[in-house]
């Protein structure tokens, strides 16, 4: 199954969130110099539609992800997913709180892009 932009936000905000899942891979593809692509792969054991989620982000891409090998495979305790101004995808894997519908400076491990495609598969 694939979901684009607002559909991806709705899917990830529902029962199918990556919360309690694990980020297992993060890659940056710069083979097309005009548009880098960030891919995030998640293992989601309680995903109702599948257990492997791949999120592809591109278009005016910005992100801040703090990596530490001590926490590389830790469970995602909270997640914030937003569609901003009718044109921007936002994901925080360590938000200040999940209930806010806006970005805060206290959000951590965040990604912002003009395009999001979520692929959900059974592993």
Q: What is the pLDDT of residue 46?
A: 78
Task: Say what percent of the chain tops pLDDT 90.
Answer: 67
Structure tokens at 42: 């998640």
- Among 19-23, 40-44, 54-58, name the one with the lowest average pLDDT: 19-23
| CA gap 45, 64 in Å, rounded | 26
User: Residue 20 contacts by C-beta under 8 Å, 6 or more apart in sequence?
Assistant: 44, 45, 46, 75, 76, 77
Confidence class of residue 66 from pLDDT cuts 50, 70 and 90?
confident
Question: What is the Cα–Cα distance from 46 to 82, expressed in whole angstroms?
Answer: 21
Distance CA 85, CA 67 (A): 29
Q: What distances in angstroms separate CA 79 from CA 6, 16, 24, one per listed residue?
A: 16, 11, 16
pLDDT of residue 63: 94
pLDDT value of residue 73: 67
Q: pLDDT averaged over the chain?
A: 90
Give the whole-angstrom CA distance, residue 28 versus residue 50.
24
Token pair 């938000």 is found at 95
Residues 70-102 have pLDDT tens digits of: 766 678 889 999 999 989 999 999 999 988 999
């Amino acid at each position: 199954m694939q979901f684009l932009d607002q559909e991806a936000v709705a899917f990830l905000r529902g029962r199918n969130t990556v919360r309690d899942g694990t980020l297992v891979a993060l890659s940056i593809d710069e083979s097309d110099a005009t548009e880098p692509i960030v891919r995030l792969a998640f293992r989601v054991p309680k995903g109702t539609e599948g257990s492997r989620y791949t999120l592809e982000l591109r278009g005016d891409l910005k992100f801040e992800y703090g990596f530490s090998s001590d926490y590389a495979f830790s469970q995602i305790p909270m997640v914030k997913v937003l569609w901003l101004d009718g044109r921007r995808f936002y994901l925080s894997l360590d938000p200040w709180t999940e209930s806010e519908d806006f970005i805060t400076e206290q959000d951590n491990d965040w990604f912002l892009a003009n395009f999001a495609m979520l692929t959900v598969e059974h592993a």
